[in-house]
A and B are shown apart, each in its own frame.
Chain A
Amino acid sequence: MFGKLRHVSLATLRNSFDRRSAVLGTLQGTIGVLLAARLGYLAVAQNEKWELEAESNRVNLSLIPPRRGWILDRNGAPLASNRADFRVDIIPDRMGNNGKTIDTLGELLNLDEVELRDLRDKIEKSSGFAPVEVASGLDLERFAAVSVRLPELPGVVTQRGYSRFYPTGPSVGHLIGYVGTASAEDYEEDRNPLLITPGYKIGKDGLEKQFEKDLRGYPGARRVEVTASGRIIRDLETREDVPGKPVKLTIDGPLQDYAARRLGPESGSVVVMDCHNGDILCASSMPSFDPNSFSDGIGRIEWKMLSDDDHVPLRNKVLRGLYPPGSTVKPMVGLAFLEAGLDPEETVFCGGGLRVGNRVFHCWNRRGHGTVNMAKGIYQSCDVYFYYFAQKIGMNPIAAMARKLGLGAEYPLPVVGQSYGTVPDPQWKERKYGREWQTFDTVNATIGQGYFLVNPLQQCVMASRIASGRNLMPRLIHGQGGQDAASLDIPQEHLDYIHQSMSDVVNGPGTAGRARLPIEDVKLAGKTGTAQVVSLSVSSGKTGPWKYRDHGHFICYAPFDKPRYACAVTIEHGGGSGAAYPVARDVMTFLYDPGKAMEKLYEFEEGWGGTARERLDRKYAAYVEQYGPNAPKVGDAAEKKQAEAAAASDGEPSQPIVRTAQSPRPEPGASGAPSTAPEAD
C-alpha cells in the first residue's frame, strides 16, 4: 500500500481528476436521461391513468338522498312529511382520534352528557362505514359552527337535507312506524349505496317499512369540485332527486290524533271503521312512542323508559294485542242463535246462575236478571241466557258466526304483523290439546272467555259487519273506491233485532247508558265487555295491582238505524267496560261534532297533565334526571327483535288449558237500573 504512494504526483492527480470528472459527468448525464425517460413515461405512456386519477380527486360525486314520499290521511293532510333540516353525521371509519372529534362536536353542538353517551353507543355499535347521526334539526348557527371547523373534524359530514317529520308524533307511532338509518343487515340485503349515504333513512316499522319501495324515490346526484380537505369549490352538475310517491291512507288524521289523546294514560286502543266501505278511519294504540325521536336511533334513556313501562308502548295493540273479548261477543252469539232458529222471545229465568248437572255457572249479576229474552240478554248482558241456549244450540254455529263476522281472521292489510287470535270450537280443542270439548268450554266461549282471543281490529270488523250485514274487509289504503262487499246472508230481521238490542245497551235499559252520544238524532248502538285476566281468587279485577285488573271492551256503531261508523275500544286492565265506553262515546262524538269532543278532551288532559306528547317529554326529562348518563345500554338489536317477536306472538299464543268455567265480571253502571242521563266521566 505504501509502495504505491511514492508514485502519486500532482500530474497523476490531475489525470485522475479529468478521468473521474468525466465519469461524474457521464453519471449526471445518465441520471438526466433516466429522469427524462421517467417524465415521458408518467406524462405520455401513463397519461390516461393519471388524468383519470386527477379527475377522481377533483370531482366528488355525491348522492342526494331522495325526499321520502309523504304519508297522507284520507283528506290529504300529512301524517308523515319531510322538513328541511340541517344535520350533522359522522362516519366512524373516517374518524381518526374519535374521542377528540366527539368532544369537539359536543362543544360545538351543546350536546349534554346523555346525548354524548348515546352518540358513543351508536358509534360503537355501528358498522363503521355507515354514517351515524350526531344531530339533526339544527339551527343555522350551530350548523355553521360545525361546518367551518370541518377540516379538523375528520369523518364528520354536515349537510342540508330533509328529515322525516310526524306532525302528530306519538298518535301515529304504531300505525306509521318510523324511519332510521339502514343497519348493517339492511345493507347486506340491498347493496344500494344510497343506504349508507349520510342522512338517508329507511322505513323501520309499520307503514314506513311496508311501503318502503313506493316511499323511497330515486336519488339525485351532485358533481362538485372539492379540495383535498373536502371543501366544495363549485358545483359542476346537479341532477335533482325524484321524491318518493305519497301513500294516502284511509285514516282520518284528526280522528286518529283525537283517539290517541283521548286514551290518555290508559293502555289501550281505538279502531274506527267506515261501515260503507271498510275504510279504517282510526287505529290508535297507546301508550306509544314518538317516531320523530326514533329516527336518530333509540337512546339509552328512551330505551329504559320504554322497557320499564308495563303498558308495553312498543306493541301496536290494534293488531298485536290479543284479549278475551268478554261480552262483546254476545250480539254475535245472538245472531248465531237466530240463525240456528231460536225464537228471540224464548226466555230463560236468570236467578244469578245456571245449574248444569252438578255445577252452577254464575251470571255476572249474582242477584239475577229474572226472565230474560234475547234482547235483554244482550242489553243487560245476562250470562245465564247465553249459557242456557248455547248448550242447546252447540258451539259450532257460534264459532261459524264468529268467523263469519271476522273473528280469528288475518286481514290482507299492509301491516308488519297481525295476531289473529283464536275462535275456539271442538275441532280446534281436539287439534290443539287432544281433549274433548266440555260444557264449560261452551259456557266460557259464549261469554267471550276461555280460549277466545281477539284483537281490537277484529272486534271493530265484527261491529261493522253486524252493523252493515255485509262482509266488509278493513282497508288502510285510500282510493280503492267503494267496497262492493257481499252480503253476509243474515236475514235483515235478525240484524234489526240485534241492532235494536244493541241500541238499548246505550239508549235503553242497558249496561252503557252513559255512552249515549251528545248529538241529536244520532243514536249509538253498542255492547260492553269486561274480560277477566286472572281468576277471582287472585283479584276482584276492579282494584288491586294494575296487571290483574279486567280488560274493558266496547264495540259500537252509529247511527244505530243507518250504520255509518263502527268503533271498537279496548282498555287493557281498565277494570271493566266502564273504562272503555266513555272513550268510544267521545271518539264517535268527534266524528259528528269535533268541537264538542275537543272540549271534553281538554278537560281530561288538564287532569292528566297535558297532551300525550307533553307527558312523554316530561317523562323523558324525569328519566334523564333520575338516571342521567348512567342508564343501561340499549339492548342489542337481536334482543329487541326477540322482545318484539314475543310481544307479537302468533295466532295461537300459549294458552293454559282451561278446566273450569270462568266467572263473568259485573258490568259497571248496570246493576239493574241503568242510568239514563249522560254524565261526564
Chain B
Amino acid sequence: MALGIIPDPVARQPWRVILPLLALVLLGAAVLYSAAGGHLQPYAASHMVRFGIFLVMAFVMSWLPRDWFKMAAYPVYGAVFLLLMLVEAIGAINGGSQRWLNLGFMTLQPSELMKPTIVLVLARFYDTLPAPMTASWRGLIPAGALIGLPVGLVILQPDLGTSLAIVFGGVVVMFLAGLPLRWFVGAGVAAGIAAPVGFFTFLHDYQRRRVTTFLDPESDPLGAGYHITQSKIAIGSGGIFGKGFGNGSQSHLEYLPEAHTDFVFATMAEEWGMIGGVFVLLVFAALFRWGLVVARRGPDRFSRLLASGMTATIFFYVAINLMMVMGLAPVVGIPLPFMSHGGSSMLTVMICFGAILAVDRWSKRPTGLT
C-alpha cells in the first residue's frame, strides 16, 4: 500500500515478525549445518525446506475465512482424537508404545497436532458459550472433558511433555475466557497437593529420575544428570561471543546429547555465545508480543482466544525448552520452535503461527476472504 511496487497481499503481511523469524530459522539452519559437521545434510537443508513449505501453509491458512475455522473446530478435534486412538491401538497391537504414524514422506505425531487443536476447539467452545454461563459448571465441565480425553491418551503413550503442553494451551484459553479466578487458584492448590502424590504413583521411573536429577544433576553425572550437565557446559563454555562457528567441542565430540533437536539451543550458544542466545530470546519476545497484540485486536471472542491460545502454545515450547537446556527444568522431550530439527513440532508451531496470521488478517478485514 505504502510502497506501490510491492503487491498488496505481500505488503499486508506482518513482516516485522516474519523477518526476525526467518533470521531465527536461518540461524537454526546454520547451527544444524555445524552440528552435522559442516554439511547441509541431513539436518540443515530439510530444516529450511520444511520451514518454507510450512510458511506457505501458514499463509494459506491465514487466507481462510473465520467461519471456516469456526466450522472446522469440532470436526478437526474429532479427527485428531481419532488419530490419537489409532496410534494407541497400533501401539497396543505391536506390543509397545507408539507415538507416531508413518505417512511415508514424514512421520506424524497426532499428539503434536492436538496442541493447536485444543486451542481451536476451546476457543470455539467459549465462543458459543453464552457469556453468563462462563462462570458456571457449564463453562468448565465440557472444556475439562475436551482437554482431559486427549491428555489421557497422550499420558498413556507415555509422553509427559506433550500432555503438559496440551493442558497448558487449554488452561490458558480457559483463563483468558474469563473463568472465575478462584477456580484456577483452587486448581493450583489442588495440583500442589496432588503433584507429590502423582509423582510417586503415576510417573514412570525414568520420568521420576528426570525430576530428581533435575533437582540435583551432580548426583548422577554419568546417568540422567548427564544431559543437563553437558548442556550447561556447552552454554557456559560459550561465553559472551561463543567459540566460533563450527568450533563447538561439546556438540562435535558428541558430549551434548540430542544436539540437533532438544538441545539445539545449547549447540547454538556454544558457538554463538550469549550474543546468539539473547538474539533468540529477542526474536521470541517479538513473536509473543506480536501474538498478544494480534489477540487483543481480534475482531471477536473466538479470534482473541484463538490467537492468544496459539501464542501460549508456542510460548510453552520455548519456555520449557530453554529452561530445560539451562538447567531450570527437568529434561522433558520438548524441542525449540524454529530451531530444532524435526517435522512434527515445526508443523505444530507453524499451524499456531498460521492461526495467529489469520486472526491478524481478520482484524484488518473483518469480512474474511473477499
Contact = CB atoms under 8 A, between A and B. Distances in A.
B136 interface: yes
B236 A46 contact: yes
A24 B312 contact: yes
Given A32-B281, A57-B255, A58-B253, 18 more contacts: A13-B178, A17-B301, A20-B175, A21-B308, A24-B308, A25-B292, A32-B284, A36-B277, A39-B281, A42-B235, A43-B273, A43-B274, A50-B233, A50-B237, A55-B237, A57-B249, A225-B249, A228-B254
Given A10-B301, A50-B237, A32 B285 contact: yes
A199 B272 CA distance: 42
A40 interface: yes
B235 A54 contact: no
A329 B234 CA distance: 81
A38 B277 CA distance: 11
Contact of B289 (A20, A25, A39): A25
Nearest to B278: A36
Nearest to B236: A50
A4 interface: yes
B269 interface: yes
A10 B172 CA distance: 18
Interface of A: 1-2, 4-6, 8-10, 12-14, 16-18, 20-21, 24-25, 28-29, 31-32, 34-36, 38-40, 42-44, 46-47, 49-51, 53-55, 57-58, 225-229, 233
Interface in B285-336: 285, 288-289, 292, 295-296, 301, 304-305, 308, 312, 315, 319, 322-323, 326-328
Given A5-B133, A57-B249, A28 B315 contact: yes
A43 B178 contact: no
A54 B132 contact: no
A9 B326 CA distance: 44
B195 interface: no
A43 B280 CA distance: 15
Report whether over half of chain A's contact residues are helix, strand or loop; otherwise say mixed: helix
B138 to A, nearest CB: 10
A44 B315 CA distance: 26
Contacts of B134: 8, 13
Contacts of A9: 131-132
B231 to A, nearest CB: 10
11 contacts: A17-B305, A18-B296, A20-B176, A21-B176, A21-B308, A38-B326, A44-B239, A47-B237, A54-B233, A54-B250, A57-B233
Nearest to B307: A21
B27 interface: no
Contacts of B178: 8, 12-13, 16-17, 20
B154 to A, nearest CB: 24
Interface residues of B, number: 53
Contacts of B238: 43
A477 B285 CA distance: 81
Contacts, number: 146
B99 interface: no
B269 A13 contact: no
B325 to A, nearest CB: 10
Given A8-B178, A54-B237, A17 B250 contact: no
A38 B322 CA distance: 10
B240 A44 contact: yes
Contacts of A24: 172, 175-176, 292, 308, 312
B143 to A, nearest CB: 15
A257 to B, nearest CB: 51
A23 to B, nearest CB: 9
B177 A39 contact: no
A44 B236 CA distance: 7
A17 B232 contact: no
A39 B266 CA distance: 10
A193 B366 CA distance: 77
Contact of B249 (A4, A14, A34, A54): A54
A488 to B, nearest CB: 71
A534 B132 CA distance: 118
> Lowest 9 CB-CB distances: which A-B pairs, in order?
A50-B236, A54-B237, A43-B274, A16-B178, A42-B236, A13-B178, A50-B237, A58-B249, A228-B254
Contacts of A42: 232, 235-236, 326-327
Identify which of B237, B249, B295 gathers the most chain A CB atoms within 10 Å of its CB: B237
A226 B308 CA distance: 47
A36 B269 CA distance: 12
A46 B326 CA distance: 13
B313 to A, nearest CB: 12
B232 A50 contact: yes
B263 to A, nearest CB: 13
Nearest to B285: A32
B106 interface: no
A435 B277 CA distance: 96
B135 interface: yes
B295 A21 contact: yes
Contacts of A54: 233-234, 236-237, 249-250, 270
A228 B237 contact: no
A44 B277 CA distance: 12
Nearest to B284: A32
A57 B232 CA distance: 13
Contacts of B133: 5
Contact of B323 (A20, A35, A47): A35
B132 A5 contact: yes
B305 to A, nearest CB: 8
A574 B13 CA distance: 109
Nearest to A29: B285
A49 B236 CA distance: 8
Given A16-B178, A53-B233, A39 B277 contact: yes
A8 B326 contact: no
Contacts of B274: 39-40, 43-44
Contacts of B132: 5-6, 8-9
Contacts of A4: 135, 180
Given A18-B296, A28-B288, A5 B233 contact: no
Nearest to B243: A54
Contacts of B308: 17, 21, 24
A680 to B, nearest CB: 70
B304 A17 contact: yes
B47 to A, nearest CB: 23
A39 B326 contact: yes
A25 B319 CA distance: 13
Contact of B296 (A12, A16, A21, A233): A21
Nearest to B179: A16
Given A24-B312, A35-B326, A51 B304 contact: no
Contacts of B255: 57-58, 227-228
A5 to B, nearest CB: 5
A541 to B, nearest CB: 68
Nearest to B275: A43
A553 B285 CA distance: 99
A58 to B, nearest CB: 4
A21 B304 CA distance: 10
Contacts of B131: 8-10, 12-13
B136 A43 contact: no
B302 to A, nearest CB: 12
B239 A226 contact: no
A344 to B, nearest CB: 85
Given A31-B319, A35-B322, A21 B292 contact: yes
A25 B131 CA distance: 24
A323 to B, nearest CB: 60
Contacts of B305: 17
